[in-house]
Chain A
Amino acid sequence: DTEVTQTPKHLVMGMTNKKSLKCEQHMGHRAMYWYKQKAKKPPELMFVYSYEKLSINESVPSRFSPECPNSSLLNLHLHALQPEDSALYLCASSQIGLAGARSGANVLTFGAGSRLTVL
């Protein structure tokens, strides 16, 4: 299995809803990432988990709450979102964290994304 799988593909939610995005990989990767991508913009890093521990939080508002239950799974819990949070949310993984210097181990593999619309 060489893929990162994200569910759901599309999500529409109201500002008072609570929902979650899920990400799964079975490549044995030990680093997982959440990125946010607005239309015609590059991916923006939100969170990094390395060996199931949160290693980077890019000052993301608390209405986004990440969770890494085990080395294969990454969740993003959503609560009280704003319309401007509508975007494509991309999960990615890499063999080890990007800080590691081992050649080939830093390659990010992205999932297909979850397109979120907040009404």
Chain B
Amino acid sequence: GENVEQHPSTLSVQEGDSAVIKCTYSDSASNYFPWYKQELGKRPQLIIDIRSNVGEKKDQRIAVTLNKTAKHFSLHITETQPEDSAVYFCAGKGFGNEKLTFGTGTRLTIIP
């Protein structure tokens, strides 16, 4: 099955700076990679996703890049704000698979 590793486990960034979180996956057939943000005591919420047929996707301050050859994908948050503080989970899904496998999470803290 799919195995997703996520780094770093914690990340502190000065407000206004950029944050990058990286994930690697094991199944070369995986074709869908979402990122979820979970604030303390809240539900996970999708912030951006990417499919295996594109290399990059942007949505305002958030971008995701995918390197299929190296089997890794990254979340980039620019101009960070205090409300970006949360736990971020990457995930991967194998082709034709019903199961989303989550990474172990990154606790992002934005320092004002």
What residue in chain B is nearest A111 (Cβ atoms)?
A: B43
Choice from A43, A55, A97 contacting B44 with Cβ under 8 Å: A43
* A110 with B43, Cβ < 8 A, contacts A42-B89, A43-B102 known: yes
Q: Give Cα A31–Cα B42 distance, bound, in whole angstroms.
A: 22
The smallest C-beta distance from A62 to any residue of chain B, in angstroms, reads: 21
At the interface with chain A, which of B14-22, B60-68, B71-79, B92-100?
A: B92-100
What residue in chain A is nearest B87 (Cβ atoms)?
A: A40
Q: How many residues of A contact B (CB 8 A)?
A: 26
Q: How large is the interface on B (under 10, 10 to 19, 20 to 34, 35 or more residues)?
A: 20 to 34
Judge whether B99 and A112 touch: CB under 8 Å.
no
Q: Is B104 an interface residue (CB 8 A)?
A: yes
Choice from A48, A103, A111, A113 contacting B98 with Cβ under 8 Å: A48
Q: A-side binding surface: helix, strand, loop or mixed?
A: loop
Judge whether A110 and B98 touch: CB under 8 Å.
no
What residue in chain A is nearest B99 (Cβ atoms)?
A: A45
Q: Is A50 an interface residue (CB 8 A)?
A: yes
Q: Give Cα A99–Cα B97 distance, bound, in whole angstroms.
A: 5
Listed A/B pairs (14) with beta-carbon separation below 8 Å: A31-B98, A41-B105, A42-B105, A43-B44, A98-B32, A98-B98, A98-B100, A99-B98, A101-B31, A106-B93, A108-B34, A108-B100, A112-B43, A113-B43
